[in-house]
Structures are given as C-alpha cells and as structure tokens.
A and B are shown apart, each in its own frame.
Chain A
C-alpha cells in the first residue's frame, strides 16, 4: 500500500514564448507524492494549470524544471505509462464501443481475439452489456464516459488521470457516475488523480484535495475527514461542511 506511484518534484512549467516573461509561469515548484491506491483531487479556478499538469504527467509536455517519476522511474518518454481520460469523451465515431475500448490494447499490439475477450468481459462489468456493437452516437453522455474510462483503464497502468470527466453530465447522472467511479476504483485497485472544479465532487471522491490558487500558484493540501466506503449523505457531516466552506472561500480568493 505504501508504494509511490507518482512523484512530482519541484515542477515548474512555462510555455516557451518569445517574450522573456518568466514572472508568471503556469506552474511553479509543484510537488506531489501519490501512494498506491490513493484518490487525489485537484481543484482550482480555470487557468490555474490543472490541465497543464496532466499534459506534463502524460508526457505531452516536458517540465521546464523538475522531474516526473512514475513508479519511481524518470522515463525519457512517458507515453503509454499512464491512463488518461480527457474531459470530452473523444470516442472515435467510426468505431463501435468494443473497438473504441480495445484501442489501447490494439496500440500495444495485443492479439485481437484476446483483446476482444478481455474487453467484452469488462464491458459487462462496466454496465455496458449489450452495447458492444453500438456506435458512440447511440450512447448517452454517461455511457460514453464509461467507455472512455474503460479505455483509459485498459491502457494498463495503475495510475489514472481523469480530467473533469463528469463536467458535461447532468446533475443526477453525475452523482451516479461518481458512485460508480468509486466502485470501479476499488474493484480495479487503481490510483486516481482527478481534476475538477466541483468542490462537492472532490470531497465525495478523494482522500486528499490539492487546491491551486490562481495568482500565486500556491498549492494547499487538505485531507478529507471521511472513511470508506462513502455515502452521498456523508457530505452533510459538520466537518465536511466546514472544509467545503473553507475550500470555496479560498477558491474565491477571500
């Protein structure tokens, strides 16, 4: 349980611009250590560098300074090392649900028959039974996100990065998807780093919450005072409400 899955040390990042404007970097001295099986949420206003952080971890960008260690190793090329689930589902409209989910296995060169077998089994587990041969356009928003989540899980890594995956869903679907995600997280034994701007969502899902404030790029960490398994009503506890108020005040810069 104490294995370090992800370690970010002193990460700073700046898009290389022609202007020598180093006064306002996108990320400044960001540190994070994630243990095996943890669920951590990052909240912050837009423009606070949350999504950039994911681009750095996946390897789409390289930090200006600092290191990204995955399972203790500082890989030169991090592509394919973490499962990334983008905000939009980004399912390929020309592929069926089955083929969309199989994509990461296909890229890794897994035998097609074997891959289909594995995915078909997981489709049932993910509540997508009977939809294997449907096209994304035939699915509801929540189902599309499940396929997208399954796809990122099948990337095969312990660490999953989820970038506001439920932000486009309606309130009721969102709640059931959050419960569903917790169940899958425990069943699959994954480590999840979760971006959101919804304080309730962060409180319900995570062990720890990282709050990035906009101007100073300072990071504050909060432990969520709830045990597991959790219930949506746990959010009404006094300690949680106090933490929520504190988080909201900080987000609004008071």
Chain B
C-alpha cells in the first residue's frame, strides 16, 4: 500500500523529466551540432558504446575516491562535532573557521593539492573531503546541541555518568541530524571526486569527461556524467535506507 503511493508520488516528476528530455531531444536535432549539444539518445548510444571502458577502467577509480573521501569525511565531521560539543572553547575556536572554510572556493584550491599530492588518489580525496565533511560536521553538531536539557537532568537523577548521557541521550538525539548531513555529503562527494579528477588524474569518470571535451566529443562528455549522477542517486538512496532502518521509531509518528 505504502509502496504504491510512493510510486504515485513520483509520477509528476517522472512526467516532467520525460517532457524535458523530449524538448532536449527535439532542440538538439534542430541545432544539429553534436559536439556542442548532443541529444539524449546520442548520449545513451555513446554510453552503450563505451560502457566497458567506463565501467571497468574509470568507474572503479572514481568510486574509490568517493568511498575513501566519504569515510574520512564522516570520521572528520563527527569527530569535529563531538569535539566542539565537549568544550565551549573548542566550539568558539573552531566553528567560525569551519564556516569560513566553506567560503574558500575549493575548485580554485584544487591545483594546489595536485602540487602537494601529485596525480595520486590523495589529491582527489582531499578535494572530496573538503566539500563533504562540512554538512556532516555542522548537522551532527546541531544534533548534539539539540539534546534536551531536562532529559540529561533526569538521567543525572538516575545516577547516570557523563558517558551514559552521551551514549544514551546525545547520540540518539543527534542521529537524525547526522543522517540529514550525510544525505547532503554523499551527493557532494560525487561532485568533489569529479572536480578532483578534472584537475589532475589518469583515470576516473571526471577525467574521462574532460578528456572528451578536448576532443569536441559532446556525447562523450555527457556519458560519464550520466554515470556520476547515477552514483549520487544510488548513494543517496542507500543513506535513506540506512536511516529508515536505524530510525524506525520515527515511522510510527
């Protein structure tokens, strides 16, 4: 029953997408300059043509950047949030820096990372982490701040230790916020990996897309982007699934 209504809810956006793609297809055929504006059908054909190259050579490179980047981002983001909640001074010292770190255009900094880390995977991982850790850190921190004071006091009257309060009150309170941050972070991590690859790589979907640009192969530019966006969607859905499983008490609301 619930699944059925979910599909129904998706219908309007599916229709919109189909209509937009139809316009695109018609427009592209009218312009008829494949190297600038390839039509969706041409992109799909291209994708099919080079599928093994993309999936076997370039996808694993990008996926490993995303995986390592996300792993570090979660550790760094959660770590910073916990550190800031544990001490007022740390919060005052770090929070403004955290916010201003996001005003730095990471794309402009990326060449520096290539200088530092060369063409190894780490120059790309750093870009990914710099983009993806932020939503996790800020959301988790807000979540930890949202812990109810009266609940903590009640725990104290039961003789709870600080560790008890952190484990049994703060973490469960922060978990929904953490997942919100993670949802943003996984989509950002795909962007981060692609940017990192543009600037210096020997393999990867972002690298391939950029190489096709220099060859004026419009469909070749778009084909890896389709896969990149699919990665983002799959990661997002995975987080939603994880969230539903671990927060099943929220369903009953």
Contacts and interface: CB of A to CB of B under 8 A. Distances in A.
Given A88-B150, A135-B249, A135-B252, A94 B156 contact: no
A168 interface: no
SS class of chain B's interface: helix, strand, loop or mixed? helix
A94 B158 contact: no
Nearest to A93: B249
Contacts of A107: 155, 158-160, 164
A81 B158 CA distance: 8
A196 interface: no
Contacts of B253: 137
A84 B157 contact: yes
Nearest to A96: B249
A9 to B, nearest CB: 21
A111 to B, nearest CB: 17
Contact of A90 (B151, B168, B247): B151
Contact of B156 (A79, A82, A96): A79
Nearest to B153: A60
A137 B157 contact: no
Interface of B: 148, 150-151, 153-160, 164, 168-169, 172, 175, 247, 249-250, 252-253
Contacts of A135: 249, 252
Closest 8 pairs between A and B when the two form their complex, measured CB to CB:
A80-B159, A58-B157, A84-B157, A94-B172, A79-B159, A135-B249, A104-B158, A107-B160
A80 B252 contact: no
Given A58-B157, A79-B156, A86 B252 contact: no
Nearest to B155: A107
A166 B155 CA distance: 21
A103 B158 contact: yes
A245 interface: no
